[in-house]
Amino acid sequence: MKIGRTLVSAEEIDAKLKEMGAAITRDYEGKDLLLVGILKGAVVVMADLARHIALPLEFDFMAVSSYGASTKSSGVVRILKDLDEEIDGRHVIIVEDIVDTGLTLQYLIKNLQVRNPASLKLAALLIKDGVERLPLEVAYEGFHIGPEFVIGYGLDFDGKYRNLPHVAVVDEV
Ligand code: IMP
Ligand code: MG
């Protein structure tokens, strides 16, 4: 494969995260905020987004994997790493790199909701349009993109390219 055309530049990402961070700063002023990043893709988004949030927040992480070898999400999710902290009574924002079918997030929301957080919201840098998606409310969203496979800024192709500073399409060669 080859790195294809740039869909979202590093500058555009930074400007958007700044806006998202400002909105989160406004909304969570005076609240006990916990950012929950979904490994591994959300690491890059979370690191940059968090630095645009002017509040004394905390970090936690979860790692999940879909069952089976299919490239399509099945909705059956296995927890590889659970949260370190309890979230009872806390204000939680799940941070994701991309929302595709929404199956992973639907599972995570259900899983975290029963732990009684004070609130539970979603932040995602990318939303893939033109795919069949479960109804999900993403409170803090970055960019809507088409139904293409993308890499960079946390998103991988076979484990690689997460470190690209921008989001690019994949050219199959
Ligand atoms: P969902 O359960 O279908 O919403 O899948 C979401 C997960 O699939 C994301 O967290 C990514 O890890 C992965 N994913 C979805 N689309 C892409 C893509 O275009 N490039 C890389 N990973 C993707
Ligand atoms: Mg992911």
Per-position DSSP letters for the chain, written without gaps between them: -EEEEEEE-HHHHHHHHHHHHHHHHHHTTTS-EEEEEEETTHHHHHHHHHTT--S--EEEEEEEEESSS-SS--S-EEEEE--SS--TT-EEEEEEEEESSSHHHHHHHHHHHTT--SEEEEEEEEEE-SS-------SEEEEEE-S--EEBTTB-BTTB-TT-SSEEEEE--
Specify the pairing of strand 91-99 against strand 150-151.
unpaired
Look at ligand 1, atom 15, and give the residue with the nearest C-alpha. Answer: 100
Measured between alpha carbons, how far is 28 from 49 in angstroms, rounded to an integer?
Answer: 14
Specify the pairing of strand 58-66 against strand 77-81.
antiparallel
CB 45 within 8 A of CB 153: yes
**Which mean pLDDT values do the consecutive 10-residue runs of the chain (173 residues) have?**
96 98 98 97 98 98 76 74 97 97 92 97 96 88 96 96 97 80
Active-site residue, from 48, 100, 156, 158: 100
How much is the pLDDT for 172?
A: 80
How much is the pLDDT for 134?
A: 82
CB 24 within 8 A of CB 53: yes
Domains of the chain plus CATH, in order, are: 10-148 (3.40.50.2020)
Measured between alpha carbons, how far is 170 from 149 in angstroms, rounded to an integer?
Answer: 6
Look at ligand 1, atom 11, and give the residue with the nearest C-alpha. Answer: 98
Compute, in angstroms, the gap from residue 112 CA to the centroid of ligand 1.
20
CB distance 100 to ligand 1 below 6 Å = yes
Please indicate whether residue 97 is annotated as part of the active site: no
List the one residue out of 163, 92, 80, 101 whose CA is nearest residue 123. 92
CB distance 45 to ligand 1 below 6 Å = no
